[in-house]
Structure 1
Amino acid sequence: MATVRVEAVIEVPAQQVWEAVADVGAVHRRLLPGRVADARLEGDVRVLTMPDGSEIRELIVSVDHVDRRLVYGVVEGQKLPLTHHQATFQVFGEGERSRLVWWTDVLPHAMADAVRARTERGVAEMKRVLESA
């Protein structure tokens, strides 16, 4: 299994970043407006509606407020040909700023570069949104 790790230093305190990450039903407003058109929760499943109308279903595995860690797995709807996709976000405090780390485990291994490109764009967008809030 390939693991992709992408991170960004965000000029916002860790608790503020964590509150946005942990608000799993509001990713379209708090982290990725424009990239995600809507989000809703159906039990432990987050359904993301993309701007083109397609949907991605993600099983929310863990929202750990003590360690500021979110784990989810894509269970349906991704456009990349992946047989496995699980991701973890973790927020670390660094004084008045924070470090957001996004790990993604994927299969097949050959898809790691495509996933890395997506997560790098996503982290850059999240950094911009969080710092402008």
Structure 2
Amino acid sequence: MASIHTEIVIDSRPEQVWAAISDVGAVHQRLLPDRVADTRLEGDVRILIFPNGRVIRELIIDVDDTTRRLAYAVVEGAQPSLTHHHASFQVFPEGSDRSRLVWITDLLPNALATEVRARIERGAEDMKRTLEEAAAR
């Protein structure tokens, strides 16, 4: 199983970053407004709708305010065809006014790791930009 570990430092306080990450129904507004057109919740399932109409369903496994950790798994719509996808975000303080966001993704098949890593890195940069813009307002 491939495991992708990405960390990014964000110029925003941990409680602000966590508030956005843990708002699981607002990905399109608070994290990836340029990449996700809409987000819906159906029980523990988060549905991401992309501008091109593609839909991904994710099972929200855990939202832990104490450890500032969100865990989820893609259960439908993964592109390319992943047979397993589990990921987590965790927010840590980085000095007084910054945060470190750790994004860990486990996936199968291993052969897709390079492509998925590139998507995760772009997504992390997009989230960083969005969160820093929100912090500056």
CA distance in 1, matches of 2:111, 2:53: 27
2:125 match? 124
Amino acid at match of 2:24: V
User: CA RMSD for the aligned pairs?
Assistant: 0.6
- Structure 2 unaligned residues grouped into runs of 5+: none
2:85 match? 85
CA distance in 2, matches of 1:120, 1:51: 20
2:28 match? 28
1:47 corresponds to 2:47: yes
Amino acid at match of 2:127: M
**Moved >6 Å (runs of 4+):** none
* Aligned-pair identity (%): 62
CA distance in 2, matches of 1:15, 1:75: 29
CA distance in 2, matches of 1:10, 1:84: 29
Shift of 1:105: 0.1
CA distance in 1, matches of 2:67, 2:113: 26
Shift of 1:34: 1.6
Deviations 1:50-82 (A, max 9, x none): 111111000000000000000000000111121
Query: What's the TM-score once normalised by structure 1's chain length?
Result: 0.98
CA distance in 2, matches of 1:116, 1:126: 15
CA distance in 2, matches of 1:54, 1:129: 22
Query: 1:42-121 maps to which residues of 2 (within 5 A)?
Result: 42-94=42-94, 95-121=96-122
Amino acid at match of 1:29: Q
Query: What's the TM-score once normalised by structure 2's chain length?
Result: 0.96
SS in 2 for 1:82: coil
CA distance in 2, matches of 1:117, 1:27: 19
